[in-house]
Structure 1
């Protein structure tokens, strides 16, 4: 199963980074280029343990919906969201946060598997891993910029 691991260093307190990573509003901002909207469940504010959100977006020119649920949450340490309905055979995203001096080290562990057996595995290798990595990098850049600029408010 493909796994993406990203580490982002953010010059902001761990609590700020943790809450921004759970922010539905910030997620919508970071994914504007896909037209992503929260259409059911928690549609704004912070998502919490056992809560769901259904996202509607356009990827590869195709309108899609995906519902994810926060299955684990330890405040300011980690949370996990998992697809409960949507286009993937499996999708699990663990977010961890560690304070290191004035920096927060935010780490993403993103596991996914496309449907369709061999064809899905081929698509994962040829395009999905790179595409999803770029989405996560864009999202993390938005979290980083927002957290670091929040100190100046």
Structure 2
């Protein structure tokens, strides 16, 4: 299993960043480079506790599907999305939104994942996914930051 964290400072209040982070359209725009689309479940707008969405995206020249569940939700502090079905043996993503002293947000993502296929999956984690997945989260967070800071 791999675990990594990404921290992003955003000049917008936590409730705004929390809401933006759950918007399907914001997510798909942040992942435009992989042609990500919501194809089942919640297709537009904001997600909430118990919602599911199936994403379709192109990575490494192949199309992948992943169905995620919002399994924990405490606005505006945090939410969790977990893979129900998809390419990972395990995917658990905690999104934290903490206010800083100026009323802005420190957004912290904690991701745990395991690739499938036993030893071959372990090799894929170490050689490809350990750099690819943080890169995707950084790109997503840069987009969330831009949206949150532009609509103050």
TM-score by length of 1: 0.97
Query: Can you give the 5+ residue segments of structure 2 that lack an aligned partner in the other structure?
Result: none
> Which residue is 2:28 aligned to?
28
Measure how far apart 1:48 and its partner are: 0.6
Q: Distance in 2 between matches of 1:65 and 1:122?
A: 21
Measure how far apart 1:65 and its partner are: 0.7
> Which residue is 1:112 aligned to?
113
> Which residue is 2:134 aligned to?
133
Total equivalences in the alignment: 151
Measure how far apart 1:129 and its partner are: 1.5
Q: Distance in 1 between matches of 2:5 and 2:111?
A: 6
Q: Distance in 2 between matches of 1:67 and 1:110?
A: 16
> Which residue is 1:55 aligned to?
55
> Which residue is 1:17 aligned to?
17
Q: Secondary structure at the match of 2:49?
A: coil
Measure how far apart 1:84 and its partner are: 0.1
Q: Which runs of 4+ in 1 moved over 6 A?
A: none
Q: Distance in 2 between matches of 1:103 and 1:125?
A: 35
Measure how far apart 1:30 and its partner are: 0.5
> Which residue is 1:147 aligned to?
148
TM-score by length of 2: 0.98
> Which residue is 1:123 aligned to?
124
Q: Distance in 2 between matches of 1:75 and 1:104?
A: 13
Q: Distance in 2 between matches of 1:21 and 1:129?
A: 23
User: Alignment RMSD, CA only?
Assistant: 0.6
Residue 70, structure 1, aligned to residue 70, structure 2: yes
Residue 97, structure 1, aligned to residue 117, structure 2: no
